[in-house]
Amino acid sequence: MQTADSLKQYKDELRESLDNEFLRAALDAFAKAYPAGRQRAFADYDFRALVAEGAVIKDAAAKKMDELYEQFKTEAEKRGVVVHMAKTADEANEIIARIAKEGGVKRVIKSKSMTAEETHLNVRLEKDNLEVVETDLGEWIIQLRHEGPSHMVMPAIHLSRHQVKDLFSDVTKQPQEADIGKLVKVARSQLRRKFVEADMGITGANFAVAESGTLGIVTNEGNARMVSTLPRIHVALVGLDKLISSSDDAIKLLRVLPKNATGQAITSYVTWISGATPMTIPGYPTKEIHIVFLDNGRRALAEDPLFSTILRCVRCGACANVCPVYRLVGGHKLGHVYIGAIGLLLTYFFHGKDKAKNLVQNCIACGACKDICAGGIDLPRLIKDIHARIQEEEGRPLQSRLLGQVLSNRKLFHTLLRSAKAAQKPISADAGYLRHLPLIFSSKHNFRALPTIAEKPFRDRFPAIKPSTKPGGLKVAIFAGCAQDFIYPEQLEAAVAFLDKSGVNVEFPVDQSCCGLPVAMMGEKDAAKKVALQNVKAFNPDDYDYILTLCASCASHLTHGYKNILAGDPALITRLDAFTRKVVDFSTFINDVLETRTEDVVQQAPVKAAYHAPCHLCRELGVRQAPRDLLAKAGLDYVPTTEEEVCCGFGGSFSMKFPELSKELLNNKLNAAEEAGAEILVTDCPGCVLQLRGGAHKQGRKIQVKHISEILGKK
């Protein structure tokens, strides 16, 4: 459970995780194994269609949450169940404590419930001297260790069998072996007795089916069944977001949840409880069942036009499974009670700004979570928005405000870049890298060499290289982006030469500025909007067939980003729409629009080349085949590498804020390319080039890092 007060303290905690070798190895192994298992589970299905179907179900349910609650209550009460509504976490805990008291309860057993973690229910019950025992193996382990879960589905993933062995040796007061099969059986036997002795069983639920007042509970161990069967009282604590209309809906959601969570077609048990059934305890002919629904901000969320999609979450945990940051630091550092991408959001809504303010900064916006989310939630965007919201509430940090001001004023920004170039002169050397880090960087940033600012930016070079007009040729306007305009103009020059030879007309509208992604990432909403407007105005979409960019991040921000940032401005709709539809990335343009063939391209020496797929290109824009085709067309021997689509760790301001995480991500990438025997690593984004090339240079690695424009020469 992440509780750091300051960003500094949070970073210190992150360091601890990075140094935890078992954790790193476990999460690494998981990150590698999970995608394959999941893919097998979905092999016969159309994942996107399933997600879309589930989103419709959950959105509709969120819209009529109150209505569904009333219906559920009526139906469940008909079947002998008592239904309660708790507005807050405390209220839920008090209701359950009261049920225990009135029922003369002494011992409580629980099966896994994230909602009970959310309310810290155990703490409350223990105050009344109740014995509370978790029966989910992972939950039991962390309960014994007095820890919070480090994953929503696998709460003890941060622990080794040796740690569990020690723990169980303590509990049983007998020496145990570090044999997982045996340890599981120790738990089985130890907990059996607890089931018999308990008078109250507490579960969560995955579905609350309104039409019949039914609870659907999805488990693998079978403990929820025992918890809801053996004790005479059953209490289910259920978030209002679990309400759905019908069993049909539940069955549809069930088709995605386990597959996405663990790669299982379905869990071992799916239990449907509809009302209070007969019991065989003498004196208690029927079960006493209470269902406590928890609001704790969910109803407000349901009303929120932007954040209501959070309620689609089915708690599959996949967004943590694929998160490169989670993989490095684990759930105790990437979440408070809820873990992973959704955890960053839920922490804000359920546990407050203070618990969330550091966490939300620790997202590199790679989009991996969004891509895999069972609810189709645009997690990175919402995380960014929460970040902005917190900044508004807390007062934005100076650095962020300054950057906002600078970027909103193109002339000022470019003047600053030019003077930065002048200032770097005495220290620049060594083939385009800064010899010393500028003062704003700490030594932790020293994991990669930083490039110098180019002698002459692209915007000053363009007039001299502007191709002559070719009547009838495609008309393309270049969007340069800061990195290529001021650091890597040669990448753009190479592209212009290619276009020229391909018979394309090229323009460079000079009023263009930074795309604005850096300020959007920092939560500077106003600045992000100003810059976006400036760019949309700088390009008259009627004048061009395409707006071409060689930067994956710019391409994605100019399209998806702008649609969000400039939404709600009716005067702009048509212009914005024309603008975003014309934006194209370099690889798609060369490969798919120009239909460039192998015989059109100057052939490179046939060395092994790996490809790094920029997050914004492969996931945000869905461009996957074109760059790989181009590698082959250029005569390179393209070798697929493990985790080609995992983030390189650049992430703009992320690498400034969390250099140690950035460095680990970078190393993973370079290692993978080298292990595949690649001599060249090609990518599609100058940001990735900066990260990968700077890292390779700093570490003295032989591998060459190239932008794809640098390996493509038109014959």
| Chain contacts with ligand SF4 (rule: CB under 6 A) | 313-319, 322-325, 341-342, 363-369, 373-375, 377, 379-380
Listing from the earlier edge strand, what are the strands of the sheet with 505-507?
A: 505-507, 475-479, 546-549, 583-585
Helix residue ranges per DSSP H, 502-598: 517-521, 525-538, 552-556, 562-565, 573-582, 586-588
- Reported as type and span, the H/E element at residue 239 is strand 233-239
Q: Which C-beta is closer to ligand SF4: that of 32 or that of 192?
A: 32
Within a 10 A sphere around the Cβ of 392, how many other Cβ atoms?
11
Residue 316: name its binding partner from other proteins, ligand SF4, none (Cβ under 5 to 8 Å by kind): ligand SF4
What x-and-dash track marks residues 243-272 binding other proteins by CB under 8 A?
A: ----xx--xx-xx------x-xxxxxxxxx
Q: What is the dihedral of CA 227, 233, 238, 240, to 10 degrees?
A: 160
Within a 10 A sphere around the Cβ of 419, how many other Cβ atoms?
11
Number of residues that bind other proteins (CB under 8 A): 87
280 binds other proteins (CB under 8 A): yes
Q: Which C-beta is closer to other proteins: that of 57 or that of 584?
A: 57
Minimal distance, residue 450 CB to ligand SF4, in Å: 23
Minimal distance, residue 261 CB to other proteins, in Å: 11
Residue 229: name its binding partner from ligand SF4, other proteins, none (Cβ under 5 to 8 Å by kind): other proteins
DSSP SS3 for 247: helix
Which span (11-19, 94-102, 178-186, 656-664) binds other proteins, by CB under 8 A? Answer: 178-186
Q: Which C-beta is closer to other proteins: that of 177 or that of 543?
A: 177
DSSP SS3 for 570: helix
What x-and-dash track marks residues 538-577 binding other proteins by CB under 8 A?
A: ----------------------------------------
Q: Which C-beta is closer to ligand SF4: that of 198 or that of 369?
A: 369
Minimal distance, residue 371 CB to other proteins, in Å: 18
Residue 319: name its binding partner from other proteins, ligand SF4, none (Cβ under 5 to 8 Å by kind): ligand SF4
Minimal distance, residue 366 CB to ligand SF4, in Å: 4
Residue 342: name its binding partner from other proteins, ligand SF4, none (Cβ under 5 to 8 Å by kind): ligand SF4
- Report which of 645, 657, 587, 582 is spatially closest to residue 616, judged by C-alpha positions: 645
Q: Which C-beta is closer to ligand SF4: that of 289 or that of 377?
A: 377
Q: Which C-beta is closer to other proteins: that of 55 or that of 593?
A: 55
- For the record, the structure tokens of 399 come out as 């650095």
Minimal distance, residue 237 CB to other proteins, in Å: 19
Candidates 13, 53, 629, 637; binder of other proteins (CB under 8 A) is 53
Rounded CA gap, 478 and 485, in Å? Answer: 11
Which residues ranging from 196 to 225 are in contact with other proteins (CB under 8 A)?
196, 209, 211-214, 220-223, 225
Helix residue ranges per DSSP H, 441-480: 458-465
Candidates 36, 60, 123, 184; binder of other proteins (CB under 8 A) is 184
Minimal distance, residue 190 CB to other proteins, in Å: 5
Who contacts 430 (Cβ-Cβ below 8 Å, separation ≥6)?
Answer: 449
Minimal distance, residue 231 CB to other proteins, in Å: 11
- For the record, the structure tokens of 44 come out as 């016969």
Residue 402: name its binding partner from ligand SF4, other proteins, none (Cβ under 5 to 8 Å by kind): none
Cβ atoms of 523 and 387 within 8 Å: the answer is: yes
Minimal distance, residue 657 CB to ligand SF4, in Å: 12
Query: Distance of CA 123 to CAs 16, 103, 120, 288, Å?
Result: 27, 19, 6, 23
Burial of 578 (0-12, 13-18, 19+ CB in 10 A): middle
- For the record, the structure tokens of 175 come out as 């020496």
Residue 268: name its binding partner from ligand SF4, other proteins, none (Cβ under 5 to 8 Å by kind): other proteins
Rounded CA gap, 681 and 686, in Å? Answer: 13
Residue 190: name its binding partner from other proteins, ligand SF4, none (Cβ under 5 to 8 Å by kind): other proteins
Residue 314: name its binding partner from ligand SF4, other proteins, none (Cβ under 5 to 8 Å by kind): ligand SF4
- Report which of 705, 684, 683, 685 is spatially closest to residue 694, judged by C-alpha positions: 705
Amino acid code (one letter) for 624: R
Minimal distance, residue 368 CB to ligand SF4, in Å: 4
DSSP 346-392: HIIIII-HHHHTTGGG------HHHHH-TT---HHHHHHHHHHHHHH
Backbone angles phi, psi at 278, to 5 degrees: -65, 150
* N-term to C-term CA, the chain: 58
Minimal distance, residue 239 CB to ligand SF4, in Å: 12
Place of tokens 């798919």: 592
DSSP SS3 for 89: helix
Residue 180: name its binding partner from other proteins, ligand SF4, none (Cβ under 5 to 8 Å by kind): other proteins
Burial of 21 (0-12, 13-18, 19+ CB in 10 A): exposed
- For the record, the structure tokens of 710 come out as 């640098």
Minimal distance, residue 202 CB to other proteins, in Å: 15
82 binds other proteins (CB under 8 A): no
- Report which of 152, 154, 130 is spatially closest to residue 221, judged by C-alpha positions: 154
Residue 610: name its binding partner from other proteins, ligand SF4, none (Cβ under 5 to 8 Å by kind): none
Overall residue count recorded for the chain in this entry? 715
Candidates 44, 542, 595, 599; binder of other proteins (CB under 8 A) is 44
Minimal distance, residue 282 CB to other proteins, in Å: 10
Cβ atoms of 474 and 545 within 8 Å: the answer is: yes
Which residues ranging from 134 to 153 are in contact with other proteins (CB under 8 A)?
135-138, 141
Q: Which C-beta is closer to ligand SF4: that of 141 or that of 342?
A: 342
DSSP SS3 for 553: helix
- Report which of 265, 295, 289, 274 is spatially closest to residue 216, judged by C-alpha positions: 274
Within a 10 A sphere around the Cβ of 311, how many other Cβ atoms?
24
Residue 369: name its binding partner from other proteins, ligand SF4, none (Cβ under 5 to 8 Å by kind): ligand SF4
74 binds other proteins (CB under 8 A): no
Residue 699: name its binding partner from other proteins, ligand SF4, none (Cβ under 5 to 8 Å by kind): none
Candidates 19, 129, 146, 173; binder of other proteins (CB under 8 A) is 173
Q: Which C-beta is closer to other proteins: that of 149 or that of 686?
A: 149
Instruction: Tell me which DSSP letter residue 705 carries.
Output: E
32 binds other proteins (CB under 8 A): no
Residue 374: name its binding partner from ligand SF4, other proteins, none (Cβ under 5 to 8 Å by kind): ligand SF4
Cβ atoms of 338 and 47 within 8 Å: the answer is: no
Instruction: Tell me which DSSP letter residue 136 carries.
Output: S
Q: Which C-beta is closer to other proteins: that of 3 or that of 247?
A: 247
Residue 364: name its binding partner from ligand SF4, other proteins, none (Cβ under 5 to 8 Å by kind): ligand SF4
Residue 26: name its binding partner from ligand SF4, other proteins, none (Cβ under 5 to 8 Å by kind): other proteins
